[in-house]
Amino acid sequence: MKKEIQEESFQFKGALTKFIAFGSVLTGVLFSPYLFGILFSFGELHVFDIQGLNYTAAVFVIFGILLLLFKKRVSMGLLMMIFSVLMLIWSEFAFRGVAKLAAGETFINDMNFKSNVTYTENQAYGGSPYIHFLGKPNTKLEGNLALKASHPFNNFGFCGDDFFYYKPAKVIRIACIGESTTADGYPKFLENYLNQNNVVSGYRFEVYNFGHAYWTTAHSLANFMLNILDFSPDILVIHHGWNEAKVRNYEEGEFRGDYSHRFTTFNHPVIPDRYIIRTSAIYRYFKFMFDKSPVWMTLAGSIETGKYPEKSDFRNKKELIPFERNITNIVRTAHDNNMKVIFATIPHSTDPNIAMREGVPNIIQCNSLTREIYSRFQTDVSFVDLDSILTGKRNDIFVDLAHINDEGRKLKAEQIGKTVFSLCDSSFLQRITVSDKGFTSHSGIDYYVDKMKKDLEWQKKDLIPKATKLGISLDSMMVIDAIYLVENDK
DSSP secondary structure of 168-201:
-TTEEEEEEEESHHHHTSHHHHHHHHHHHT--ST
Q: Are 405 and 397 in contact (CB under 8 A)?
A: yes
Helix (H) or strand (E) run with residue 239 in it? strand 235-239
The sign one gets for the Cα dihedral 30, 33, 39, 42 is: positive
Q: Are 200 and 426 in contact (CB under 8 A)?
A: no
Q: Are 167 and 393 in contact (CB under 8 A)?
A: no
Helix (H) or strand (E) run with residue 209 in it? strand 204-211
In this prediction, residue 4 carries a pLDDT of 53
How distant, in Å, are the alpha carbons of 138, 153, 270 from that of 134? 12, 9, 19
- Could you tell me how far CA 459 lies from the centroid of its own chain? 31
In this prediction, residue 383 carries a pLDDT of 95
**Cα–Cα distance measured from residue 439 to residue 101, given in angstroms and rounded to the nearest whole number:** 52
**Cα–Cα distance measured from residue 476 to residue 321, given in angstroms and rounded to the nearest whole number:** 54
What residues are paired with 175 via a beta bridge? 208, 236
Question: To the nearest 5 percent, what fractions of the chain are helix, strand and coil?
Answer: 55, 10, 35
Nearest-CA neighbor of 437 among 235, 227, 128?
227
**Cα–Cα distance measured from residue 146 to residue 341, given in angstroms and rounded to the nearest whole number:** 26
349 Cβ partners below 8 Å, 6+ apart? Answer: 391, 395, 398, 400, 401, 402
In this prediction, residue 306 carries a pLDDT of 86
**Cα–Cα distance measured from residue 149 to residue 145, given in angstroms and rounded to the nearest whole number:** 7
Strands 340-344 and 235-239: parallel
Identity at 92, one-letter amino acid code: E
Neighbour tally for 386: CB within 10 Å: 23
**Cα–Cα distance measured from residue 74 to residue 83, given in angstroms and rounded to the nearest whole number:** 13
In this prediction, residue 12 carries a pLDDT of 66
How distant, in Å, are the alpha carbons of 169, 308, 315, 350, 361 from that of 358? 47, 15, 13, 11, 7
Terminal alpha carbon distance of the chain: 105
In this prediction, residue 379 carries a pLDDT of 77
Neighbour tally for 447: CB within 10 Å: 24
Q: Are 40 and 96 in contact (CB under 8 A)?
A: yes
Helix (H) or strand (E) run with residue 381 in it? strand 381-384
Q: Are 117 and 126 in contact (CB under 8 A)?
A: no
pLDDT profile of the chain (490 residues), mean per 10: 54 78 91 91 86 92 87 78 90 93 88 87 89 89 58 89 94 97 94 95 95 95 97 97 94 92 91 90 92 85 89 91 97 95 97 91 96 88 96 94 94 97 93 91 94 95 95 96 91
**Cα–Cα distance measured from residue 462 to residue 451, given in angstroms and rounded to the nearest whole number:** 13
Nearest-CA neighbor of 131 among 218, 243, 208?
218
Alpha helices in 33-179 (DSSP H): 33-39, 47-69, 76-102, 105-116
Q: Are 438 and 167 in contact (CB under 8 A)?
A: no
In this prediction, residue 311 carries a pLDDT of 84
Nearest-CA neighbor of 181 among 216, 157, 206?
216
Dihedrals phi, psi of 150, to nearest 5 degrees: -100, -10
